[in-house]
Structures are given as C-alpha cells and as structure tokens.
Structure 1
C-alpha cells in the first residue's frame, strides 16, 4: 500500500508539473501575440505619420517650424493647412490663362536645360490640353528661363524635383484647372512631368511643375491627383545626379531645397 501511495503521489506531482509547464507556455504565447500586436500598431502608426507628413509637405510646402510641429504631434485639425480654395470656388480660369483648345490634340516636343544639362521633353495636349496649353505659353514667353527648381524630395517612393519658381509660394494671379490625366493608382512613373498645385483644390494649378526621377506614389487628396502633362524623353540622369547630392542643410532630411542649387537655363517647346 505504501508503495502504491507513493506512486500515486508521484504521478500526481508529474501531472501538476506538466500542467504548470502548459500554463507557462500558454502565458508566453499570449504575451508574444500581445507584443506582436503592439509592434504592428506602432509600425502602422509610423507609416501613417510618414504619409501624412509627406503629403502635407508636398501640397503645402511648410516652413521648417511648421514641419517640426507636424512631426511632433500633428497637434490638431485646426493646425493643419487649410485648402486655399475649394474646386467650386474657382471653377473658371482667368483671362491670362491660355485656352485649352490651343493645345488640344497636339503633342509638343522640346528641351529643358538644368544647370547646363539638357532634358528632352514631350508635352501631351491630347491627354492634358489645358496643362499643355499653359506650359507651351509659358515656354514661348520665356517665363521659365532663369527660374529655380526650389524643391527636391528623396524618399524611397517620393522622388521628385519641383521647378518653376524661386520659392514654394504660388502666384495667386495665375491659377487654373481642372485636373487632367491624373493616375488612377496614384503612381507617377520615373520621367513623369506633372503640375504642382495647392492642396485640395482642383483649380489650384499654377506655373510650377515637378519632374519624377524615381517611381513615386502620391495619394490623392480631396480634389484628386496631380495632372500628368508629359514626360522626360532623355537626360533624366541629370535630375538623378541632382538628387544624389542630397538636401540642403537645414531642410527636412528627405524634402527641401536641393543641396546643389538648380536653375532652368532654358525651356522650349515646339
């Protein structure tokens, strides 16, 4: 009986040890799943923050202080840049904007020279007649000659050089719309030439444009995407070389003035 009792006690002890080990494994598995969820949530939050900062910077070109404030907390909706105008508020173009039919059905070719490096251009009035009419008129007037490319982005999927003005400020006397030929998937392939505009405003296009040097994704805002007016047909490596020099000190790490100042020596279309 004594031996039998000891065997029973030993068997019970082993069962208790096995149950304890199972409970420990269950607890460890539960903690692992919880930690994975927390890590995934933090990663998602970081991605959302990066996208919001990127888009706000692209649309509004904030100052260093504004960017720092956004990065610190995106404090409140009232601190976000307000749309300059709704599409319905500026549903017509002014008398200084060329008519779309001057470029409709036409494809223009030409050249833009940046810091002595020539880029071949194709501007497509069959897909974006209003934008093509604007670029053709401004090129003929020499408006771009001597102007700056003031902004460079070097994100892995946000890579462009913005040109046509000395600063990010738009010309309030030269705004137009509507949006044309915006990509359904929000993807702008390398070589794309598209029109910069103010945030959430389909009639907030102006004189500035951007050249994409690496495939870029720009999610649409409430007005839509950005008008694709043409492409670089040769010499895109000149923009890539500008990007390789990086961003000027004092700017955001991936979005700011080019470290190598960029000037449009000439811009012509025929």
Structure 2
C-alpha cells in the first residue's frame, strides 16, 4: 500500500500537482458543498499512422475527440496466467486512458501476446498491446504523449505507453516496469500503476526470454502471457 501511495503521488507531482485548486486547505475543509458540476472532459487529436512508423495495422476506427478527464480508470487484463489490474489516471493522461478504453471496448487486445521482455540491468519491462504479436503493430491512429516520465526514470510497478521513434506516435502498446528503470528516457506517457497481478509479471520475467530469439537479454518471453480479454472501467 505504501508503494502504491508513493507511486500515485509521483504521478500527480509529475503532472504538476493535478487536482490542486490553489485554495487554502482549511478553507476547502469548511467550504459548503457545491452542486455537482458536469464531468470534466479533454479534447484529443487522433492522427493517422505515419508511413514507416508501423508495419501491421488493425483498424477499429478512432475514439471520440472529447474524452473523460479528472477521473481514475481501471484496466483489467484477463490473461492465461491470471488477472492483472492497472489503475490509470485520466487527470494526467486523458487521451491515453481514453484510447485504451476505446480499444478494449472493440476487443482490440483480446488474444494478443505480451511480445517483449527486457531482462537487463537497464531494461526491466514487459511489453504488451500489439494484436499482431510482432512489436510492429497497433491501431490505425496515433496520438501525442502526455505526462512524460520523470528524468530519473520509470519506477517499479508503473505503466507507460510505448511509442515509435518520433514524438506524437503513441499507440496501443504499453510496458510494465517490473523493476526501477532509471535508464529509460522520459519519452513515454506515464499512465498508471499495477495494483494487482504484479506477481504474474515477475513470474514471466523470472522465466527469461526465448534463448534463440534473445538480443542482449531482450526478446519474446519464454513463459507466454496472453491477454485473453481486456476491459477498462472509469471510476
């Protein structure tokens, strides 16, 4: 619980203390409750995949331009090894969270493998979200990065969105940091933290990569992890 609290606090600090109104704390405690306000929203731009960024495209349309913001969402990964839950913060990454919610609703991820495992001192990640299982696939759209990771690197248990070489090319792939990764540059949208099933990720990591496909400790995991079904629910 302490780790979860610290990691979520880090996400909010990175976003510039999201949710802080600037009103004195004492005044907030005694203020008369106001009438409920309309749900917060954000505007997102979904761009076509740039030539050369992606080899395999699974076209399921694009999410709405106006998406929920100022809330939390839970992404549940039902896998062949058990359930993994990821708490995502739409206050700091509304477009990324909305994209995952949209794709999950289209069964975009169902049946896809987690295709990449990094097992080096500088790269301890499990990467998923490509329905082709090749590492070169994704949806027919891309979007800009949000809440870039801290310069000190990505903390253990946190989740970020993968992108291609150029900025503004985030898609459906995401990586789970099963150890602190200070060597990963702050180029990727930090969207949340694993709250359940980290033992599954570590089990996959402990098994290592397929020997004949390993490239300096990076390759397909030897213990296969398949996303059987993915859902996203806003709180």
Normalising by structure 2, we get a TM-score of 0.68
TM superposition shift of 1:156: 2.1
User: Is the Cα contact below 8 Å between 1:160 and 1:213 reproduced in 2?
Assistant: yes
Give the counterpart of 1:134 among 99, 110, 122.
Answer: 99
TM superposition shift of 1:230: 1.5
Q: Secondary structure at the match of 1:136?
A: helix
Match of 2:144 in 1: 178
Q: Secondary structure at the match of 2:142?
A: coil
Q: Secondary structure at the match of 1:137?
A: helix
User: Is the Cα contact below 8 Å between 1:111 and 1:120 reproduced in 2?
Assistant: yes
Does 1:211 find its partner at 2:165? no
Q: How well do the aligned residues superpose, as a CA RMSD in angstroms? A: 2.0
TM superposition shift of 1:218: 4.0
Structure 1 window deviating more from structure 2 (152-161 vs 129-138): it is 152-161
Residue pairs, 1:1-270, within 5 angstroms: 93-94=47-48, 96-99=61-64, 101-165=66-130, 166-171=133-138, 174-199=140-165, 201-220=166-185, 225-250=187-212, 251-270=214-233
User: Is the Cα contact below 8 Å between 1:115 and 1:263 reproduced in 2?
Assistant: yes
- Cα distance between partner residues in 1 of 2:229 and 2:107: 8
Residues 228 and 100 of structure 1: is their aligned pair in 2 closer, same or farther, counting only changes over 3 Å? farther
Highest relative contact order (Cα 8 Å, sep 6+), 1 or 2? 2
- Cα distance between partner residues in 2 of 1:119 and 1:139: 14
TM superposition shift of 1:219: 4.1
Gaps spanning 5+ residues in structure 1: where?
1-90
Normalising by structure 1, we get a TM-score of 0.60
- Cα distance between partner residues in 2 of 1:242 and 1:187: 22
Gaps spanning 5+ residues in structure 2: where?
1-44, 49-59
Higher-Rg member (1/2): 1
- Cα distance between partner residues in 2 of 1:131 and 1:100: 12
More helix per residue: 1
TM superposition shift of 1:114: 2.7
